[in-house]
């Protein structure tokens, strides 16, 4: 087991509303939050783009110029930082995400590796939002992977369930992707895998050996034992205001920096050494800053 651990900060997400939570929206806000996370130990920043107009910060954007501006601002604030760019979309139209990847050339990009009925039920038995299918058929995945290869972007495979983990192995065997493979086990979505540390040995056994894995833990108090288990199992760590609003003591986080500080402390308690940006590039076989 590599005793070094890669920490990713998920800065803002697509569902978190800046009118209710302290998520960054503008390039300057993204850079400031990234700096707080960077100083706390995160070498990778996972980003989503939001519309910039007044009162529109809760809506997603796929403007290539905005992607470039956000990436440039974060890189200026955090020397050597690695960008992990979202690509998640519902439906077959992926021109926006592909244009953003081509424009900003992040070192890593999310590649949602399978479809999921994205559901959440409220206590009164009503849906929290209209039931939707987060559709990621193989044709869509292949299109993302082709553009990532073209621009030397490393895919991070987002796995919402055990069968999706197994599918990543099939993508490899079919020649769609070459090692090293980055697995991200997404746990805590109501209609996906629960945030349960007992699943980690199973997920590790389903992933192709010799590749790295991380856990995205979504929730409140239940996520912190999972982060600890992931660190102890040799996995990489991710958190931020996309995934949780709460610190281990139950208090609300005022920034991404506070969440990453708590995550870094947990990694150190587990006997792991936090990898800096240069080490992360070596560990994952990434190119120089900016994807070149």
- Domain with residue 138: its CATH number is 3.20.20.70
**How far, in Å, CA of 225 to CA of 229, rounded?**
6
- 95-104 vs 138-150: helix axis angle to the nearest 10? 20
75 falls within a domain: yes
**How far, in Å, CA of 184 to CA of 157, rounded?**
6
144 lies in which domain range? 4-120+128-284
237 falls within a domain: yes
**How far, in Å, CA of 16 to CA of 56, rounded?**
12
290 falls within a domain: no
| Bridge partners (DSSP) listed for residue 186 | 216
Domain count, the chain: 1
289 falls within a domain: no
Is 138:175 a contact under the CB 8 Å cutoff?
Answer: no
**How far, in Å, CA of 284 to CA of 6, rounded?**
10
**How far, in Å, CA of 5 to CA of 236, rounded?**
5
53 falls within a domain: yes
14 falls within a domain: yes
pLDDT reading at 17 higher than 80:
yes
254 falls within a domain: yes
What are the tens digits of pLDDT across the range 159-218?
999 999 999 999 999 999 999 999 999 999 999 999 999 999 999 999 999 999 999 999
What are the tens digits of pLDDT across the range 228-241?
999 999 999 999 99
Of the candidates 64, 55, 69, 88, the one whose C-alpha atom is nearest the C-alpha of residue 242 is: 88
**How far, in Å, CA of 42 to CA of 34, rounded?**
8
* Helical (H) or strand (E) element with 116: strand 116-118
42 falls within a domain: yes
What are the tens digits of pLDDT across the range 42-89?
999 999 999 998 889 999 999 999 999 999 999 999 999 999 999 999
Predicted local distance difference test score (pLDDT) of residue 2: 76
């Amino acid at each position: 087991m590599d005793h070094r651990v890669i920490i990713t900060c998920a800065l803002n997400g697509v569902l978190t509303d800046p009118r209710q939570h302290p998520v960054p929206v503008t390039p300057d806000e993204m850079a400031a939050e990234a700096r707080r996370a960077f100083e706390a130990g995160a070498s990778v920043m996972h980003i989503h783009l939001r519309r910039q107009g007044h009162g529109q910060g809760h809506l997603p954007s796929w403007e290539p110029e905005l992607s470039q501006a956000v990436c440039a601002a974060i890189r200026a604030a955090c020397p050597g930082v690695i960008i992990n760019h979202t690509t998640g979309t519902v439906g077959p139209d992926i021109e926006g995400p592909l244009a953003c990847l081509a424009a900003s050339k992040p070192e890593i990009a999310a590649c949602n590796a399978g479809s999921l009925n994205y559901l959440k039920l409220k206590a009164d038995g009503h849906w929290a939002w209209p039931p939707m299918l987060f559709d990621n058929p193989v044709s869509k995945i292949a299109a993302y992977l082709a553009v990532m290869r073209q621009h030397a972007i490393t895919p991070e495979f987002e796995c919402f369930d055990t069968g999706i983990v197994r599918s990543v192995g099939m993508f490899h065997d079919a020649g769609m992707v070459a090692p090293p493979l980055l697995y991200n086990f997404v746990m805590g979505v109501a209609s996906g895998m629960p945030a349960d540390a007992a699943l980690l040995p199973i997920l590790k056994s389903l992933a192709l050996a010799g590749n790295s894995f991380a856990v995205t833990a979504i929730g409140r108090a239940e996520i912190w034992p999972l982060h600890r288990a992931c660190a102890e199992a040799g996995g990489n760590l991710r958190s931020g205001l996309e995934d949780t609003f709460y610190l281990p003591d139950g208090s609300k986080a005022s920034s991404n920096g506070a969440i990453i500080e708590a995550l870094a402390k947990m990694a150190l308690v587990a006997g792991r050494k936090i990898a800096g940006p240069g080490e992360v590039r070596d560990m994952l076989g990434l190119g120089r800053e900016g994807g070149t």
